[in-house]
Structure 1
Amino acid sequence: MTDTPDQTGQVKPFALVLQEIRAGEVADDAARLMQELVAAVREHGKKGELNIKVVVEPMKGNSDALAVSGDVTLKAPRATPKAAIFFPDSSGNLLRDDPRQAAIPGLRIAPAKNTEPKDLAQ
């Protein structure tokens, strides 16, 4: 599809039209969401999307006018949820300990008394 020039033979830049939709709100939203997208991509190392949708439709009751609206949507990457390890028993219940592994009697978690790192002499 080719651009249609205006009466002076010039094609009006899309950015100027976008700036006029809803008094610049669509362009402002796009700029703000672009910053959010860049930050999310850098934080999570995954791709994201910023979509600008412009709808042009005939104005009801006036065949010479067009209603132009716009919207901006963001699909930012998200962190991968952390998974926990479980083991299923024969009934399908999830357990934290493997039911097929024998327990060691008397085994317990020792309390942490001093968690500060020690300075070892070289």
Structure 2
Amino acid sequence: MTDTPDEPGQVRPFAAMLQEIQGGAVADEAADLLQQLVTAVTDIGKKGHLVLTITVQPLKGNASALNVAGEVVLKAPRPEPAAGVFFFDTSGNLMRDNPRQATIPGLREVGKPNYDNVRTV
């Protein structure tokens, strides 16, 4: 493979062509987004995707030319949202305390002890 094929059937390297789409902006963006993807994957521990789409369409009015555009999309992994445990009642309402669990009468919340006036021996 060469950058500029001079024989019929010779394939031009994809990277060389990619460097020319939108003046290299697509290749530069792909490199930046790939770096972000690697960081996100290593931080979160889940897979992600980098999607490169190249659109090729005929150029209107010129049968020997094509419009070529590129787009790069990052689908980075996301951390799982923090979840809390809730219970539901017979009406479908969510609450923190289990409505099916009996409460022990006489229990109350005790405040934090104050050790400021305690002397040590």
TM-score by length of 2: 0.82
Q: Which residue of the partner structure matches residue 97 of structure 2?
A: 97
Answer with 1 or 2: which has the greater Rg. 2
Give the residue type in structure 2 aligned to 1:107.
R
Residue by residue, what CA displacement relative to the aligned partner does 1:85-117 show, whole Å, maximum 9, x if unpaired? 111111111110001112233321533768xxx
Q: Which residue of the partner structure matches residue 30 of structure 2?
A: 30
Q: Which residue of the partner structure matches residue 20 of structure 2?
A: 20
Structure 1 residues 62 and 100, CA, compared in 2 at 3 Å: closer, same or farther? same
Give the residue type in structure 2 aligned to 1:98.
N
How many residue pairs get matched?
Answer: 110
* Of 98-107 and 76-85, the range deviating more from structure 2: 98-107
Q: Which residue of the partner structure matches residue 85 of structure 2?
A: 85
Q: Which residue of the partner structure matches residue 8 of structure 1?
A: 7
Using the alignment, how far apart are the partners of 2:114 and 2:71 within structure 1?
Answer: 57
Using the alignment, how far apart are the partners of 1:76 and 1:41 within structure 2?
Answer: 7
Tell me whether 1:74 sits opposite 2:81 in the alignment: no
Q: Which residue of the partner structure matches residue 53 of structure 2?
A: 53
Q: Which residue of the partner structure matches residue 110 of structure 1?
A: 111
CA RMSD of aligned residues (A): 2.0
Point out where structure 1 has 5 or more consecutive residues left out of the alignment. 115-122
* Of 11-20 and 34-43, the range deviating more from structure 2: 11-20
Structure 1 residues 96 and 112, CA, compared in 2 at 3 Å: closer, same or farther? farther
Residue identity over aligned pairs, in percent, reads: 52
Structure 1 residues 84 and 112, CA, compared in 2 at 3 Å: closer, same or farther? farther
Point out where structure 2 has 5 or more consecutive residues left out of the alignment. 116-121
Using the alignment, how far apart are the partners of 2:113 and 2:32 within structure 1?
Answer: 47
